[in-house]
Amino acid sequence: MPRPAVLREAYQAPAFLISQVALDVEIRDEHTVVRADLNIERQRPDIPLLLDARHMRLQAIAIDDRRLRAAEYEVSSDRIEIADVPQRFRLATTVVIDPEGNRALEGLYRSGPMLCTQCEAHGFSRITPFPDRPDVLSRYRVRIEAHRATYPVLLSNGNPVESGDLPEGRHFAVWEDPYAKPCYLFALVAGDLSCVEDEFVTRSGRPVRIGFYVDHGNESRVDHAIASLKRAMRWDEDHYGLEYDLDRYMVVAARDFNMGAMENKGLNLFNAAYVLASPDTATDDDYEAVEAVIGHEYFHNWTGNRVTCRDWFQLSLKEGLTVLREQQFRTASRASGVARIEQVQTLRAQQFPEDAGPTAHSVRPDRYVEINNFYTPTVYEKGAEILRMIEALQGPGTFVEGVRRYLHEFDGQAATIEDFLAAQESVGQRNLDGFRTWYSQAGTPVVRVEDEWRDGHYRLRLYQQTPPTPGQPVKRPVPIPIGFALYDPNGAELELPPTQGLVREDLILIEDEAMELSFGPFERRPVPAFLHGFSAPVRLDYAYTPQQLALLVTAEADPFLRWESVQELMILAHAELVDGEPGAIVGVLLETLQRLAANPPEDRALLAWLMSLPALTMLAERQARIDPEAVVAAHQRLKLEIGAALCGPFSVWAEWGSTGERGVDRRALSNVALDYLAAQGTSAALELARKRAMNSHNFTLVLGALNALNGTGSSQRALALAACRESWRDDPLRLDRWFSLEARAIDGDVAASLQILLDDSAFTWANPNRVRAVLGAFGTQNWRAFHRPESYALYARLLLRLDGTNPQVASRLSKPLLRWRRYAEPWGGGMHDALMTLSAERLSPDLGEMVTRALD
């Protein structure tokens, strides 16, 4: 029986509130005993007490010290019901749980030398019986008891208040969190870990003890994470006036973690991949990712923890806002103009496809079966984009004021997206109703632009339309701020007098289905530029000529739009190659790139982006029905054409990696150049890449060289990969890179090659990073081998295997199979068949929900 959906409309305030939680967690070798003592107060008459409780054995239950008889309560597989309870009472429960057997990595589970917790969204009810919902906020006192030699470190939220030794080599620690919190922010860690300490003094003088807990041997790899945390703490004070509010900030790095990280109050838990970094083990992109996730989890302390979500439909209230804050932080801490390009790239490669597929949902969804399926690019990244548009219209100062008003008004409470919008409205001049539609409506709006040039006047007509999505056939218009400029054909920007429809000289706001603007008189037909800084998460549909795009690449000052113009040109060139031989468009593209190479922007990181080909997904999105073989073949051809035309500058830039040239930007460009050169297959390029992969001490350059070699099938590739495998064998994070390189290179007999990886002594289904390194890389980055009907069937069998132990990760990894309707035959039919086989099996609610939506 499939689990019934939860509906947003059905929300009811909690029937019972719990002011105090006292937990006693007794860790034994075979199992863990959890005793809970809850102070409960009824909010409405005549309602039974319902406690969520999963994967546990109830040993005792008492109200106000009186043990309940079996007839007084009912236990099912996911809850405990007590029909008759007083108005105000103490509930005591004792349960036994099995962290060692927990493969789902929700609740309390083992990861390497520790036991740790993941409670968002519903892990707490795998630890102790509790109303597992975010609008029940309580103060926690937690006592942990364990064997001292095995578990020397005992941590929970808040401040340590007591600790000591016990008989038989055991010890205990007591932690108290002064802030009331929802149970999803509870955390506990017990293990044998090293602690690296530091200190931060808040601007009002509160000293904060920082502690990073990592596996022994990794102490030297946390400097960057700690420095990032301190920068984030300072930035939040400077930008939002928000200070940290506890005496301790602890971060624990876990080897096994389903997601990126978790913002538990005062005790963040992290996937080790987002904490550990050193130049010889992490790429420059990894460094960026660590800073982003460290910042993200820190910013949650206000947006998420001090003010939390009323229910899980409001998830974007904390996630969208925290992603925006993380983006603002990272943009501020970087000199280069590429931060926004990276954000847009992520949004387009991940969120746009979701919004156009069977699992499309609004940023504030209306229903879910498994909430873990809604930690999506839509809730996170599109949620952040909505706020960015609000910020653009309110102005940055007013937006900050609105955030502060919201935090002040709802401090210590569980709030809604509506509450946030109302706070923004109360500080600004603007009615934000249109943005309420952004939150409730799925799908990416398309802005189609038509223009006309007559008698020296330039007229623009803009039409917006959002395509139908599952369950939402009819769409309403939304407010769309569109950055705007006009260029003279010689590249000079034209001054625009105040015109109806322009909110500012450089901003159009389209609010209805259509709008018209008129400019001029001009002497020559101008070239328009739209969406500066990607001012709205929409698709722009304007029929640029290759020449116009080439003009914008040099005329535009906005790094995003410069990149966008080259990307468009590359997409047009790719389409030309799908249809046949290189022609006029490829010609314009190559000239444009040559001109860029001869006259490069100061910002070398930007240059690296300008030279990079669009990802295969981006190219595929442009096809009416996706033919993966054609997409891959034309992409490869385009890469060869560009590599041949620019081999001069590429050879110079590729060498930058060898001459000890330092700096993130130069390394990025060197890697892009080396990739083009290696694709040419000359032995000079392959040897350069091999030597760099085997000898460089900089991991960015090593991985860049391996990536360049990986698609070549050369002997140099084989040598370099084998050498890396050997030297990375004791470092799980680098070994993941090796697995992923291998999974991306599989070709020929797919089943046999994949089986070799799965049979590797270092492969394990129990570690999400390792599983993602193989299945994730194969499903999303190896188009050649994955997009075959027999591979889809094989992939489905692997998902089923994984679903038996870790439904959350299995569900996420199902994404490459879901959009079968978009694919031409035989691919679409093959994906569909694979989904049908899955749907005939007993699936978890997680994977089951994804498969059902895909087939609906």
CA distance 528 to 530: 7
Instruction: Tell me whether residue 549 is exposed, middle or buried, using C-beta atoms within 10 angstroms of its C-beta: 0 to 12, 13 to 18, 19 or more.
Output: buried
Task: CB nearer to ligand ARG: give 301 or 372.
Answer: 372
Contact 270, 251 (CB under 8 A): yes
Pairing of strands 367-368, 6-7: antiparallel
Residue 351's binding partner out of Zn ion, ligand ARG, none, with CB under 5 to 8 Å set by partner kind: none
Which residue from 848, 822, 764, 750 is spatially nearest to 792, judged by alpha carbons?
750
For tokens 């007509």, the residue is: 461
Q: How far is the CB of 14 from ligand ARG (least distance, A)?
A: 21
Contact 496, 502 (CB under 8 A): yes
Contact 200, 208 (CB under 8 A): yes
CA distance 444 to 433: 18
Q: How far is the CB of 259 from ligand ARG (least distance, A)?
A: 4
Pick from 262, 485, 572, 777 the residue near ligand ARG by CB under 6 A.
262
Residue 721's binding partner out of ligand ARG, Zn ion, none, with CB under 5 to 8 Å set by partner kind: none
Q: How far is the CB of 60 from Zn ion (least distance, A)?
A: 37
For tokens 């140099």, the residue is: 716
Which residue from 656, 662, 725, 732 is spatially nearest to 692, judged by alpha carbons?
656
User: Under the criterion CB under 6 A, does residue 326 sit at the interface with ligand ARG?
Assistant: no
| Window 86-105: contact mask with Zn ion (x via CB under 5 A) | --------------------
User: Under the criterion CB under 6 A, does residue 291 sit at the interface with ligand ARG?
Assistant: no
Task: CB nearer to ligand ARG: give 120 or 558.
Answer: 120
Helix residue ranges per DSSP H, 259-395: 284-299, 315-332, 339-346, 352-355, 377, 383-394
Between residue 314 and residue 343, which ones bind Zn ion under the rule CB under 5 A? Answer: 319, 322
User: What are φ and ψ of residue 495, in 5° steps?
Assistant: -75, 135
Q: How far is the CB of 252 from Zn ion (least distance, A)?
A: 17
Pick from 258, 424, 612, 769 the residue near ligand ARG by CB under 6 A.
258
Which residue from 357, 359, 358, 350 is spatially nearest to 381, judged by alpha carbons?
350
The region of 117-125, 154-162, 342-350, 714-722 touching ligand ARG under the rule CB under 6 A is 117-125
Neighbours of 230 (CB within 10 A): 18
Tokens for 701? 């350059």
Pairing of strands 480-487, 527-530: antiparallel
Task: CB nearer to ligand ARG: give 263 or 401.
Answer: 263
The region of 14-22, 254-262, 410-418, 458-466 touching ligand ARG under the rule CB under 6 A is 254-262
Pick from 121, 155, 338, 462 the residue near ligand ARG by CB under 6 A.
121
The DSSP string of 470-522 is TTB-S-----EEEEEEEE-TTSPBPP----TTEEETTEEEE-SSEEEEEE---
Residue 556's binding partner out of ligand ARG, Zn ion, none, with CB under 5 to 8 Å set by partner kind: none
Residue 375's binding partner out of Zn ion, ligand ARG, none, with CB under 5 to 8 Å set by partner kind: ligand ARG
Task: Give the Cα-Cα-Cα angle 139, 253, 727 (nearest 5 degrees).
Answer: 175
Give the CA distances from residue 454 to residues 179, 522, 525, in Å, rounded to whole numbers and listed in that order. Answer: 66, 10, 9
CA distance 296 to 240: 14
CA distance 27 to 49: 28
Peptide bond into 121 cis (omega under 30): yes
Do you know the residue count of the chain?
A: 856
Half-sphere exposure of 627 (CA within 13 A, CB side): 8
Q: Is 297 a catalytic residue?
A: yes
Task: CB nearer to ligand ARG: give 261 or 813.
Answer: 261
User: Under the criterion CB under 6 A, does residue 275 sit at the interface with ligand ARG?
Assistant: no
Q: How far is the CB of 280 from ligand ARG (least distance, A)?
A: 28
Task: CB nearer to Zn ion: give 92 or 251.
Answer: 251
Catalytic residue among 145, 297, 354, 370: 297
User: Under the criterion CB under 6 A, does residue 297 sit at the interface with ligand ARG?
Assistant: yes
Q: How far is the CB of 296 from Zn ion (least distance, A)?
A: 6
Task: CB nearer to ligand ARG: give 263 or 627.
Answer: 263
Task: Give the Cα-Cα-Cα angle 597, 599, 604 (nearest 5 degrees).
Answer: 70
Task: CB nearer to ligand ARG: give 259 or 570.
Answer: 259
Task: CB nearer to Zn ion: give 322 or 372.
Answer: 322
Instruction: Tell me whether residue 722 is exposed, middle or buried, using C-beta atoms within 10 angstroms of its C-beta: 0 to 12, 13 to 18, 19 or more.
Output: exposed
Between residue 776 and residue 815, which ones bind ligand ARG under the rule CB under 6 A? Answer: 808
The region of 64-72, 257-265, 511-519, 692-700 touching ligand ARG under the rule CB under 6 A is 257-265
Tokens for 339? 């931060």
Q: How far is the CB of 1 from ligand ARG (least distance, A)?
A: 24
Pick from 18, 154, 259, 802 the residue near ligand ARG by CB under 6 A.
259
The region of 37-45, 113-121, 277-285, 473-481 touching ligand ARG under the rule CB under 6 A is 113-121
How many residues form the binding site for ligand ARG (CB under 6 A)?
A: 14
Residue 301's binding partner out of ligand ARG, Zn ion, none, with CB under 5 to 8 Å set by partner kind: none
Contact 211, 250 (CB under 8 A): yes
| Window 357-386: contact mask with ligand ARG (x via CB under 6 A) | ---------------x--x-----------
Residue numbers of the site for ligand ARG (CB under 6 A)? 118, 120-121, 258-259, 261-263, 296-297, 319, 372, 375, 808
Residues that bind Zn ion (CB under 5 A): 319, 322
- The residues assigned a catalytic role are 297
